[in-house]
Structure 1
Amino acid sequence: SSGEDLGVCECLHSVHPFASFNLYAIVVFLPFMSCLGICFNILNYKVYSQRRSTASAYLAALACSDVGVCLCGIFVIWADSTRAHIFSFDQYYVFILPYAIPFGNFFQTLSVYITVLAAIDCFLTVIRMSGVLTPRSIRILIIAVILYNLVTLWELEAVKCTNPYNNVTMYNLCPTEFRVDPFYITWYKGYFYTIFMAFLPFILLSVLTVLILILLRRRRPSALLNA
């Protein structure tokens, strides 16, 4: 309405010194690489989905998750960079990004932990305990990843405001009060992200890889003696 009191836009795009590089690297090159990734992962899914082992089930699930990562690379990273150059596109996309970004976080987390599950399954196979993990484990993992990333739905919002440079009313993508809360930044974005997206996967994959290599190396001489 005419009496509506709008605040000044505080989250406007800033001019980056590498704007030209960003334009070519993300707006042009990223969609090409993402499309390649989608094609190759669809091919991987068709190959692994026809096999019956649990390892193949994890690799097929990983291919699906990576397709999601590639799609979100286009719809989140590409779109976020493109909207800085096209105003009309920006005004539509500020309503989509608050929901698209959590999908990107979901697929990113899912790909990391499917890889961890595949490594655990490989280790269990080496120590002759195959069957402990089943394809049902993937469904449990998906639920856990959804719960972990659910809070990111409340991180961003489209705010109606006035551009101080040209006095034009527009919608601007801004962090919510929830996103800038110190407790949330410290624990979820700080400790939780560091532990669950960096430290824990790295430690698990490193330890499992070393153990698998040691066990296979010890088993090889005995296999040769029995031959």
Structure 2
Amino acid sequence: RAFMGTAVDYGQPRLQCNSETINNGSCFGYAVCGFCYGYIDDGSIPEEEKDNFYDTFNLIVIGAVLPAIGMFGLLGNTISSFIYSRKEMRSSMNVYLCALACSDIIIIITSFFLFVLESMRKRSIFAHRLYATAAPYMFPLGLSAQSLSVFLTVTAAADCLVLVRKSFQTVIIIVLLALAYNAPHLFEIYVIDCWSLPYKKPSKDVCPTELRGNEMYVSIYYAWMYTIVMAAGPLLLLILINTSEYENLRFFYKENTSISHDCDSGDVITLILVVALFVTCNILPLTVNLLEMLMQIENPYLIDLSNLMVVVNSSCNFLIYYAFGSNFRRTLKQYCRRSRVFIRRAATRSTRRRRRRPSRQIKNATFEPLPVTSLIIEPNKEFLV
């Protein structure tokens, strides 16, 4: 960690910042932001040589479209996790779908830090510092949630074929496996204090550790294990499971018999579409990984689109649940009606309390006695007051 810096007295002659010190990775006693991974934005690149089209593309895709889809996904997954956790929706497959919704919430939240903040840190010193501070925690957490989502999707897809009796214990085991698989990410990056040349003030940056720089580790863990465990392996397995479930569904419809276990036809259709969405959204990330692993090609446009597809996959399951899950839709409508009745009754009670409660003016008013008038009675005359 040779680039760690601390606040210094800028009046000392030895603490300089010029082209020579910048090339050596130092400025005013700080490490230069970006030096530890080979990129220094010192403003020397002419404007006409910068890829302004990519900056616009990145701002639209990552800075605008991804947060909009992610906000919808947070709402949808919150509703999904609530509905699938209800007593009347209790089944082994729904336990996995509830856990899947929770993992998708984590994926979306961490994507705001890892993707949106990473894009915004070119435009704001606050985003630059916040990204570097949050990255060591959000990076392993987001990848663990992504692994959990993959494992849960495969388990839920296989549930209607092979009924798993202890679904809660299975979810706990899957969570532990996802955390164990992604534990090495905790030791891949660290945060340093650095000098930002574009903003001309101290900031923070993320640097890779020796483990992350080890070529054998990157080749085995990132290239081959990721492809087998997170990409190609689950995709092929899900395609086989989906095909089998589709054939079973056709057979049950043809023979006019009920589906076995606790999965009805609506659940099977829902699950088939969830798996189809997963496969569709993960084709591009797999392609990006294969291009980088086999041909050493890194296309920033494809990387941004693959990150967007990860968020799309985590955000759109609610639409499938509502459109094709009859039990899900019925339960959601029941709770919506109950919430409307509860709100209406609460408003009625509040109105009644306000009517019964005396106004503050009447409560604090002081009443003075009326003056007593004398009655004068004279013969053969009317009463005079």
TM-score category of the 2 structures, normalised to the smaller one: 0.7 to 0.9
Provide TM-score, normalisation by structure 2. Answer: 0.52
Match of 2:60 in 1: 24
- Verify: 1:73 aligned to 2:111, yes or no: yes
Equivalent residue of 2:143, what SS? helix
Match of 1:127 in 2: none
1:139 equivalent among 169, 172, 196: 172
Match of 2:274 in 1: none
Conservation of the 8 A alpha-carbon contact between 2:106 and 2:142: yes
RMSD between superposed Cα atoms in Å: 2.5
Kindly tell me: are residues 111 and 223 of structure 1, through their superposed partners in 2, closer, same or farther at Cα, counting changes over 3 Å? same
Kindly tell me: are residues 16 and 141 of structure 1, through their superposed partners in 2, closer, same or farther at Cα, counting changes over 3 Å? farther
Equivalent residues in 2 for 1:13-52, closer than 5 Å: 16-17=51-52, 18-50=54-86, 51-52=89-90
Which ranges in structure 1 are unaligned for 5 or more consecutive residues? 125-129
Identity %: 29
Alpha-carbon distance in 2 for matches of 1:67, 1:93 = 19
Between 1:17-26 and 1:195-204, the stretch displaced more is: 17-26
- Verify: 1:174 aligned to 2:174, yes or no: no
Alpha-carbon distance in 2 for matches of 1:167, 1:86 = 12
Alpha-carbon distance in 2 for matches of 1:221, 1:166 = 68
Alpha-carbon distance in 1 for matches of 2:66, 2:178 = 26
- Verify: 1:105 aligned to 2:143, yes or no: yes
Conservation of the 8 A alpha-carbon contact between 2:81 and 2:99: yes
2:238 equivalent among 200, 205, 212: 205
Between 1:163-172 and 1:148-157, the stretch displaced more is: 163-172
| Higher RCO, 1 vs 2 (CA within 8 Å, ≥6 residues apart) | 1
Equivalent residues in 2 for 1:116-195, closer than 5 Å: 116-124=154-162, 130-162=163-195, 169-195=202-228
Equivalent residue of 2:205, what SS? strand
Conservation of the 8 A alpha-carbon contact between 1:121 and 1:133: no
Equivalent residue of 1:96, what SS? helix
Provide TM-score, normalisation by structure 1. Answer: 0.85
- Tell me the matched-pair count: 219
Conservation of the 8 A alpha-carbon contact between 1:83 and 1:93: yes
1:197-217 Cα shifts (integer Å, max 9, x gaps) = 112111211111122233343
Which ranges in structure 2 are unaligned for 5 or more consecutive residues? 1-5, 9-13, 16-28, 42-49, 258-385
For the pair shown, which has the larger CA radius of gyration, 1 or 2? 2
Kindly tell me: are residues 16 and 178 of structure 1, through their superposed partners in 2, closer, same or farther at Cα, counting changes over 3 Å? farther
